[in-house]
Amino acid sequence: LAKTTQPISMDSYEGQEVNITCSHNNIATNDYITWYQQFPSQGPRFIIQGYKTKVTNEVASLFIPADRKSSTLSLPRVSLSDTAVYYCLVGPGAGSYQLTFGKGTKLSVIP
């Protein structure tokens, strides 16, 4: 399984766009990139998943360059409720039920 590297923590003011970058140099051809969000004392929640280029949903965008060795989760106009730990996961998309979580990035949104 590809190892991921993300910043341990980030601070942002309310209303700003936040970009969290994840490095995954050893990503395999059939690997997908998935981001989860976790609030204290709760289970992680799926945010977004992608394979290449750009993926956007109602809460976030995921940017993946052509070499796929990194990816960036973009959260537009964050609010205090976005304060959480964000995990970048890399693994086989098809039939992958064993998620490998790294340390994650603790995002603190400041009023």
Partner 1 sequence: KAGVTQTPRYLIKTRGQQVTLSCSPISGHRSVSWYQQTPGQGLQFLFEYFSETQRNKGNFPGRFSGRQFSNSRSEMNVSTLELGDSALYLCASSPGGTGNVEQYFGPGTRLTVT
Q: Any idea what the Cα angle at residue 105 is, between residues 92 and 97, rounded to 5°? A: 25
32 binds partner 1 (CB under 8 A): yes
Burial class (CB in 10 A: 0-12, 13-18, 19+), 109: buried
Binding mask 43-72 for partner 1 (x = CB under 8 A): xxxx--x-----------------------
3-class secondary-structure state, position 19: strand
In whole angstroms, the minimum distance from the beta carbon of 96 to partner 1 comes to 6
Strand arrangement of the beta sheet that strand 70-75 belongs to? 18-23, 70-75, 61-64, 53-56
103 binds partner 1 (CB under 8 A): yes
15 binds partner 1 (CB under 8 A): no
29 binds partner 1 (CB under 8 A): no
Of 19-27, 56-64, 69-77, 99-107, which part binds partner 1 (CB under 8 A)? 99-107
Of 3-11, 16-24, 62-70, 96-104, which part binds partner 1 (CB under 8 A)? 96-104
In whole angstroms, the minimum distance from the beta carbon of 72 to partner 1 comes to 20
What sign does the dihedral 7-45-72-20 (CA atoms) show?
negative
**Mode of pairing for the β-strands spanning 45-50 and 53-56:** unpaired
Which residues would be at the binding site for partner 1 (CB under 8 A)? 32, 41-46, 49, 87, 93-104
